[in-house]
Structure 1
Amino acid sequence: MDDKLDVSSGMRDALPTVFGYIGIGLAFGIVAKAAGLNVLLVALVSIITYAGSAQFILVSMLASGNAMLGIVLAVFLVNSRMILMSMTVAPFLKQESMLKNILVGSLLTDESFALSMSKVNYTNKILNFSWLNTANIVSYCTWVLSSILGALLGGFITNPDKLGLNFALVAMFIGLLYLQMIGDKELPFKLQLIVVLIVLGLVYLGLIFIPSNLLIIAVTIVGCSLGMVIKHAFF
């Protein structure tokens, strides 16, 4: 990763997301095909919803015969964390037009958010439309194409867990987190490591007491608050 914010740099920087999306996109296509969706429906879900974990939930709820209102509400709750992420990215794009901000926000994902937060460590806290939109579009196209390919392969692969495809997204996030921690020169590495460990603990405890569709939002708010307290008290 470098300090350039052009289209070619956006394509290069999106490679960690691309490789992660290939694995998890294939897995989604296979799972969706096994749940009874045809290739066209799998493509439409990825094109319109474009929401990773929410798409797995959507498919499982459709297969279980849940009401459409319940499916829509579940997808909204799972993706509500994007409100927080969009609010974080927006100040870096205030020089761009409203239309460009809407386009970027529509394709923003956990992965492109993490990528952008890592990028600002190299660009003196600057982002632009060209770089982020390129990274978003590359990731989006990869996800859609991988989902379609997974659906086409779904008739031949009945158990994606055997191929380890379900770990692709986890591996990608570990890589993005590592880049973020070593690239951020403003926060001490020790502080970042403490916050990561706190978040891991909160997730472990939260899985016991909090519904999974609200866990990410709750842990984000509590983890950020504790991180600020620790920073001002000890660093």
Structure 2
Amino acid sequence: MFSSKAFSEGLKSSLPIVAGYLPVSFAFGVAAEGAQFDTFSAVFTSLFIYAGASQFALVGLLKDGVPILTAALITLGLNIRHFLYGPGLSRQTENFSLRARLVAAFGLTDEVFAVAFSRIGIMPPESRFWWFMGLEFGAYSCWIGGTLAGSISG
């Protein structure tokens, strides 16, 4: 059941992440625009890859003419560390359904993991999912918004 209180607490917990993401996502938007990505493509990349270092690498690789399959494999290699985050949070998220875990996995970045790892254990188990969703929503929406702003400004 949705908990607006837990979601709001998660949003508040995302503020340090937001402070770091805004300039980096803005820079990504500018870099993507400079690499001849249109605004839609820059935002699409942030929507579906959502991994800063990989996004910057992808833009550079494609700009340099690297074949898309090669660029995709390199991008995947850069993100392999994300597979290690799930087990680190498994005890604190054991009450999440499989669907909830898959949703949560998409938004799990280095910064989200750091905040979640330090705080989710003190949340009541019934509030954890919505707190986590608030945390991820704050970070994700900021990343998308920063990319859009940078691409338009680019």
User: TM-score, normalised on structure 2?
Assistant: 0.91
RMSD of aligned C-alpha atoms? Answer: 1.6
Give, in whole Å, the separation in 2 of the partners of 1:95 and 1:23.
Answer: 35
Give, in whole Å, the separation in 1 of the partners of 2:59 and 2:123.
Answer: 41
In the alignment, what sits opposite 2:36?
36
Counterparts of 1:47-196 in structure 2, within 5 Å, are 47-120=47-120, 123=122, 128-154=128-154
Give, in whole Å, the separation in 2 of the partners of 1:22 and 1:108.
Answer: 17
8 Å CA contact 1:90, 1:101 repeated in 2: no
AA aligned opposite 1:32: A
AA aligned opposite 1:56: F
Give, in whole Å, the separation in 2 of the partners of 1:124 and 1:139.
Answer: 19
Question: In structure 2, do the counterparts of structure 1 residues 40 and 124 end up closer, same or farther at CA, with 3 Å as the change threshold?
Answer: closer
In the alignment, what sits opposite 1:18?
18
Question: In structure 2, do the counterparts of structure 1 residues 145 and 117 end up closer, same or farther at CA, with 3 Å as the change threshold?
Answer: same
8 Å CA contact 2:11, 2:137 repeated in 1: no
AA aligned opposite 1:110: D
Q: Name the stretch that deviates more: 87-96 or 20-29.
A: 87-96
Structure 2's unaligned 5+ residue stretches are: none
Moved beyond 3 Å, runs of 4+? 124-127
AA aligned opposite 1:148: L
Cα deviation for residue 90 of structure 1 reads 2.3
Identity %: 28
Q: In the comparison of the two structures, how many residue pairs are matched?
A: 149
Give, in whole Å, the separation in 1 of the partners of 2:124 and 2:52.
Answer: 28
In the alignment, what sits opposite 1:27?
27
Give, in whole Å, the separation in 2 of the partners of 1:52 and 1:28.
Answer: 8
Give, in whole Å, the separation in 2 of the partners of 1:124 and 1:134.
Answer: 13
Give, in whole Å, the separation in 2 of the partners of 1:111 and 1:96.
Answer: 21
Structure 1's unaligned 5+ residue stretches are: 155-235
- What CA deviation, in whole Å up to 9, does each residue of 1:42-74 have, x standing for no partner? 011001111111000000001001011111111
Cα deviation for residue 120 of structure 1 reads 4.0
Counterparts of 1:211-222 in structure 2, within 5 Å, are none
AA aligned opposite 1:41: S
Give, in whole Å, the separation in 2 of the partners of 1:83 and 1:125.
Answer: 25
AA aligned opposite 2:59: V
Give, in whole Å, the separation in 1 of the partners of 2:123 and 2:66.
Answer: 48
Give, in whole Å, the separation in 2 of the partners of 1:17 and 1:91.
Answer: 23
In the alignment, what sits opposite 1:45?
45
Bigger relative contact order, structure 1 or 2, given CA contacts below 8 A and separation 6+? 2
- What CA deviation, in whole Å up to 9, does each residue of 1:127-186 have, x standing for no partner? 7111111110111111011001001111xxxxxxxxxxxxxxxxxxxxxxxxxxxxxxxx
Give, in whole Å, the separation in 2 of the partners of 1:18 and 1:108.
Answer: 14
Give, in whole Å, the separation in 1 of the partners of 2:48 and 2:56.
Answer: 14
